[in-house]
Chains A and B, each alone.
Chain A
Amino acid sequence: GESVGLHLPTLSVQEGDNSIINCAYSNSASDYFIWYKQESGKGPQFIIDIRSNMDKRQGQRVTVLLNKTVKHLSLQIAATQPGDSAVYFCAEMGQAGTALIFGKGTTLSVSS
């Protein structure tokens, strides 16, 4: 069967490597998914989003993949930099305008 990336609470990479952060979401009816970056003592910062009618979306150095079959979301960061070190959260939204529900975070540490 298809393998699903496991959620890891921490991820350590070297500068320049590609990073993959995984998330499992809970509601099969969720329509909208977002990845956030949170630095210590700050609010979440928007990275990239994807709607349920898509399976992939690319931004600058980041790609989000959505697998609705297994309710899995991943964030790929290319050429990871020390400034990418932070906690990353996925969030899901059911209907438009309703609250975002956050998944477990992954702490990304990038060493130079």
Chain B
Amino acid sequence: GAVVSQHPSWVICKSGTSVKIECRSLDFQATTMFWYRQFPKQSLMLMATSNEGSKATYEQGVEKDKFLINHASLTLSTLTVTSAHPEDSSFYICSASLGGWNTEAFFGQGTRLTVV
């Protein structure tokens, strides 16, 4: 199957700083990528849909100015957590789709963010 790679796998940052997480489709072009957040012992919650070349679509309750998403190419989407606070500590996961009528989604390995 197709491979999606996230970087970094884990990151620790200080409160008030910004952190960028990368999501790359390694062997296919992804028109659409999705960002999820997962708190401990909970399910994956969709944050936003990232479309190459256009603005991301955010789910209700997700602050677009805090979680900046950029999908500048067909193989890379980035999520930047700005002015991070301890409550932003979570597991962030991206997935990528081939698009069109293809329903298969490929997931990255996730990024563990800890804000201290």
Question: Which residues of A are interface residues toward B (Cβ below 8 A)?
Answer: 31-32, 34, 41-46, 49, 89, 93, 96-105
Contacts and interface: CB of A to CB of B under 8 A. Distances in A.
B49 A99 contact: yes
A41 B44 contact: no
8 contacts: A34-B105, A43-B6, A43-B107, A89-B44, A96-B100, A98-B49, A100-B105, A105-B42
B93 A97 contact: no
A105 to B, nearest CB: 6
Q: How large is the interface on B (under 10, 10 to 19, 20 to 34, 35 or more residues)?
A: 20 to 34
Contacts of B110: 41-43
Interface of B: 1, 6, 32, 34, 36, 42-46, 49, 91, 93, 95, 97, 99-105, 107-110, 112
Contact of B99 (A34, A42, A97, A99): A97
A95 B104 CA distance: 12
A49 B32 CA distance: 20
